[in-house]
Structure 1
Amino acid sequence: MQRMIETATLRMSIAEAGEGPLVLLCHGFPETSHAWRHQITALAGAGFHAVAPDMRGYGRTESPDETGAYTVFDLVADMVALVDALGEEKAVIVGNDWGATVAWQAALMRPDRFRGIVAMSVPLMGQPPVPPTKIFPATADHLLYVLYFQEPGLAEAEFERNVDVTLRKIYGAAGGEAGPRLPGDGTPNPFGMVLRASGLLADLPNWETLPKWLPQADLDVFADAFKASGFRGGLNYYRNLDRNWELQKALAGLKVEVPALFMAGERDTGLAIPGMREIIDAMPGLAPGLRATQFVPGAGHWLPQERPEIVCRAIIDFVQAL
């Protein structure tokens, strides 16, 4: 069931099903709550109250005008406010992509409200010594996609020119069916380097035949949402990376103590980033509650959609064991 709910931070659109202990499901970019359609049904059937919000700036959830209203502190506040609005004291929080970042930070900041975390694709990382945008690579001709996203209006104009093609290209190129992921293997990657002259989409295949995990009807749901909302809200998450770095100095030394599970597809685009495996291996030092790291064969970046049976089973087993 999809409904609107008023919270202390904003008016939010949520998809939900079931009764029992609360499990929040946080999507990434560029997705909506529809990314968790398989998990909502499975969790409800297993005796849980599954709730997947359209995150701040996405779908029918409110999208504040100010770029600065999309810090990780705002996003965690949204999740705390949602738990409150649902009349609960605690929840298990699950996230993929940007949703994983929100979930990690929610577990870090508010272990009193989030009793466990399942994070996918994006590991917990330590604080870098300088602002993130000072680290990301850029040359005269190319720059990392995160830097491409920094200029307001630039990526919006490209992505909103043809929303169907944008999503088809990004979903396809970051999925496991695009092929193996090795550093520098040349596989088209929407989350890699962008040619300044042509933008992010030009070098990505059009995927005239959709990946098996993404039927046309589901792609249409995502496309309709972004045709209505645009991409600005989601892109604003990236535009607050340096601000997050400043604010998170207040959290120096904190660790994720609640039970945690990390999952990633073996063909995830993120694993092609040099040093990512070392970051994943170092997570127990930042998250003493980490119980396991699971790599899913053949899967890419959209793990909940690409391998729903494996993800559903992992979440249910994890939450039942708490």
Structure 2
Amino acid sequence: MTAYRQTFIEANGLRLHVAEEGKGPLVLLCHGFPETSHAWRHQLAALARAGFHAVAPDLRGYGSSECPTEIECYTVLDVVGDLVALVDMLGARDAVIVGNDWGASIAWQAAQLRPDRFRAVAALGVPMMGRAPMAPSRLFPQNEQAWFYTHYFSEPGLAEAEFERDVAATLRKIYFSASGDVGVRDATTPNPFGFVPRNGGLLDSLIDPPALPAWLTPVDFERFVKAFSESGFRGGLNYYRNLGRNWELQAAMEGRLVEVPALYLVGERDTGLAMPGMREIIDSMPRIVPRLSASRVVPEVGHWLQQEAPEVVSEALIRFLRDL
């Protein structure tokens, strides 16, 4: 049984589905792709016990939240606008914002843009990065044989057709292949966030495990399957289709630091660490996040950090929140 409360809140012109638990200072928890608010089930309970009001929305386009039709409605600024409005609708002056994967990117930029509304930030997996020197269409590689997954995701209808053919198989393969359960990650390890062959799909090279990982119960897995069976994957993929527009908009924030207290955690087997230069980006974060209190690598876990190592993440978050 799900212990957290579920409700709908009108924010920024959208109907957002929200999971929440506890009373006290507000903590917003932002999920990644392909997840929903249920990815934070462990932290909702732990933060509530520690005296915080933990709130995890299904971001626009996900789960039971509203899914705008237009691709251009999915820039980071649109989502940050949703979160600012959500803080208002929850009756709070400000919040600590926490995110993983896409949620981490959104959390960093929310804290960078609106330190008056987001008084601290904690990010899992994705570090804070300065604006890239060139547009993503040129930055991410592709050739006649294969293209980087962001290019594949950016073609409207292409990934949806593959992923929605068998939602359970899609999620099972992606969750397992990006987790620490694949073992030590190297160049031969199947990676859902790597290259996709031009004549195939993203799922073709991924492992379909004989059983779910220990960190994902059948009941919890079915929650995700049900959510994406109802919503489809279009909303989540539209975030990728705005990578270029996000890059253009970031020009307005060039040189601006993340000036609020910050925490960063990453799994030792996170898919992102396989990207060239990622460890150097993480090491250089204090230049643009001067109040970064800790940058920690969690052993033997992968991309779904708050689900794979819930106690570690909850403990780190509670310590960070209390130190504020």
Alignment TM-score, normalising by the size of structure 1: 0.98
Question: Where does residue 197 of structure 1 map in the other structure?
Answer: 199
Output the aligned Cα RMSD: 0.7
Distance 1:92 1:46 in 2: 14
Question: Where does residue 88 of structure 1 map in the other structure?
Answer: 92
Question: Where does residue 24 of structure 2 map in the other structure?
Answer: 20
- Structure 1's unaligned 5+ residue stretches are none
Distance 1:188 1:179 in 2: 11
Question: Where does residue 74 of structure 2 map in the other structure?
Answer: 70
Length, aligned pairs only: 320
Pairwise CA distance, 1:130: 1.3
Question: Where does residue 280 of structure 1 map in the other structure?
Answer: 282
SS class of match (2:185): coil
Q: Is the 8 A contact 1:91 1:116 kept in 2?
A: yes
Question: Where does residue 37 of structure 1 map in the other structure?
Answer: 41
Question: Where does residue 209 of structure 1 map in the other structure?
Answer: 211
1:158 matched to 2:162? The reply is yes
Pairwise CA distance, 1:181: 2.0
Distance 2:283 2:73 in 1: 33
Pairwise CA distance, 1:8: 2.7
Equivalent position to 1:110, from 99, 111, 114: 114
Distance 1:244 1:9 in 2: 21
Equivalent position to 1:3, from 1, 7, 11: 7
Distance 1:81 1:311 in 2: 27
Distance 2:292 2:48 in 1: 25
Question: Where does residue 61 of structure 1 map in the other structure?
Answer: 65
Pairwise CA distance, 1:9: 3.4
Pairwise CA distance, 1:145: 0.5
Distance 2:183 2:271 in 1: 10
Distance 2:97 2:13 in 1: 18
SS class of match (1:320): helix
Equivalent position to 1:233, from 216, 220, 235: 235
SS class of match (2:203): coil
Equivalent position to 2:183, from 165, 179, 188: 179
Question: Where does residue 102 of structure 2 map in the other structure?
Answer: 98
SS class of match (1:194): strand
Cα distance per residue 1:241-277 (max 9 Å; x no partner): 0101111111111100000000000000000011100
Structure 2 counterpart of 1:240, which letter? Answer: N
Question: Where does residue 309 of structure 2 map in the other structure?
Answer: 307
Question: Where does residue 151 of structure 2 map in the other structure?
Answer: 147
Comparing 206-215 and 167-176, the one that deviates more: 206-215
Pairwise CA distance, 1:209: 1.0
Q: Is the 8 A contact 1:9 1:77 kept in 2?
A: no
Runs of 4 or more, structure 1, over 4 Å off, are: none
Equivalent position to 1:290, from 292, 299, 307: 292
Distance 1:46 1:133 in 2: 44
Distance 2:197 2:216 in 1: 28
Distance 2:287 2:149 in 1: 29
- Structure 2's unaligned 5+ residue stretches are none
Structure 2 counterpart of 1:113, which letter? Answer: R
Q: Is the 8 A contact 1:9 1:81 kept in 2?
A: no
Cα distance per residue 1:67-114 (max 9 Å; x no partner): 000001001101101000101011000000000000000000000000
SS class of match (2:290): coil
Alignment TM-score, normalising by the size of structure 2: 0.98
Pairwise CA distance, 1:55: 0.5
Identity %: 62
